[in-house]
Amino acid sequence: MKPSFPIQKSEAEWRAELAAKKAEPMAYEVTRLAYTERPFTGKYEKIWADGSYHCIACGNHLFDADTKFDAHCGWPSFSEAIPGAITEIRDTSHGMVRVETVCSQCGAHLGHVFDDGPTATGLRYCMNSASLDLKRR
């Protein structure tokens, strides 16, 4: 069971919010229904711009671009999240045990975090591009 989050909206309100932001077509399914975009198809997988990554649903600051690295997995990957920005939830779907990451403000599904990252944190936040919004510097 997912915890409660400060920002609560109806399905119609989330759909309208994402449409107003011109989010990717799969953004609702990814953020609200925990879908996963196909690897190597997300708009941020190969973007290496200065800035910060925010939750597409509510705007919560999730990652700084300087923590992004190429994990060769097909999804944007980060070594470190902004403290308090992400809530971790045990995920036992698809016959696996993983750690789901959701926005700590609105509960939007972002992706998963793994302990196989190449930096000092040892973490790989594997995110769906459809759940992110890059604010360039």
Alpha-carbon span 29 to 101, nearest angstrom: 15
C-beta of residue 64 within 8 angstroms of C-beta of residue 81:
no
C-beta of residue 84 within 8 angstroms of C-beta of residue 101:
no
18-23 contacts at long range (C-beta below 8 A, 24 or more positions apart): 18/56, 18/57, 21/56, 21/133, 23/56, 23/130, 23/133
Instruction: For residue 126, indicate whether it is catalytic.
Output: yes
Active site (catalytic) residues: 126
